[in-house]
Amino acid sequence: MTKPRILFAPDYRAGVRYQTLLAEALTGLGFEILFQSDYYRGLPLYRGVKNVSPALVHLHWPEKYFGRRGMLWTWMRVKRYPLDLWLTTSARPMVLTAHNLLPHNRRKEFGVFQNIRTTARRAKAVFVHSETAREQMCATFDVASERCHVIPYGDHSLGMGDLMPRADARRQLNLPATAKVCLVFGTVSPYKGSEEIIQFWVRNRIPYHLVIAGPVLDENFANTLRNIGSGCQSVDLRLTQTWLDDDALKAWLSAADCTIFNYREIFTSGAAALARSFGVPILIPKRLTAADLDEPHPHVFRFDTLDTDFRSQLEQALARPCDYNLAQAWRDKTSWERIATATASVYREILK
């Protein structure tokens, strides 16, 4: 029997493990998973899909197909996207995983809201990662609730094993052996609110070691962070030009006493989900209700604002030991076998 061919588009395996882990699990359920890695000028989605003729297109991060590239080029890409999408979905069904409600740092840009709404409404099914995300998706883009399916983000620690001994991780990363280490990790971008965290550290002379670790996509933004933290010995910027690989992520999480996520807005946090899988305490704003971390849980600390209760929540998080075993229930709940089974059920219903 021929395996149904599913095309994941775009191919973002270099940046996050989500597509790789989902593809591996779906392959075990009898699907052939392809990745769109060829991007053409003019109708890039349609032309890329046409070349491989899949039974179904699974779209992730649709903004790839109307990305920024100078004011004029960006305007043209935004304008052409609805035609690109229409041609693609006229020939075969498409499903969407809504990792974000709207693309990061692009909420107010011309045409972006309309393009995401068009994508969600043309999709045969939309996958989201929490009940709150489903409510927001349906309300914002007028998507029928029966077409919106809640599937957890997934255990991104799969295959990485338990945490390293803290002393070994700190030696490897050249971190102080006895200090309390507070980690902000992942892509370094304005929507993550790193500036406010650094300002809080500097203004309040927080004695704990704050690390901002990850790839920076804009050198001007990197310089802004350096200027804010200049002269503060407890602020440690570890900005890179490349993605943190699995070994680096494991080392950073093994070295940390807690992780901090001060996103201005977020639908799903892969970094927070990874910290949750490893059993590292997490601080995250109460307002980010779409980020499902299976609460209440002793490793998740929610705060109102940096100026009100953040400091008290920070102290509580630092008093809570990291515990990989305590995260076992979360890893079971977000197993890729469960996620792939639920995804495959939707695929098969569409492909009947």
pTM here is 0.93
Determine the topology of domain 5-154+335-350 in CATH.
Answer: Rossmann fold (3.40.50)
C-alpha atoms less than 13 angstroms from C-alpha of 64 in its C-beta half-sphere:
17
Q: Which CATH number fits domain 166-332: 3.40.50.300, 3.40.50.2000, 3.40.190.80, 3.40.50.10420?
A: 3.40.50.2000
Write down the mean pLDDT value for the chain.
94
In the chain, where are the structural domains located?
Answer: 5-154+335-350, 166-332
Q: What is the pLDDT of residue 37?
A: 79
- Could you give the CA distance from residue 59 to residue 111 in angstroms, rounded to a whole number? 19
Report whether 64 contacts 85 (CB < 8 A).
no
Could you read off the pLDDT of 149-188 as tens digits, one per residue? 999 999 999 999 999 999 999 999 999 999 999 999 999 9
Report whether 169 contacts 280 (CB < 8 A).
no
Query: Does this chain's domain 5-154+335-350 share its CATH topology with 166-332?
Result: yes
For the chain (352 residues), the mean pLDDT of every run of 10, in chain order, is 92 92 98 87 87 94 80 74 95 96 86 96 97 97 96 95 97 97 95 96 97 93 95 95 94 98 92 97 97 96 98 98 97 98 98 94
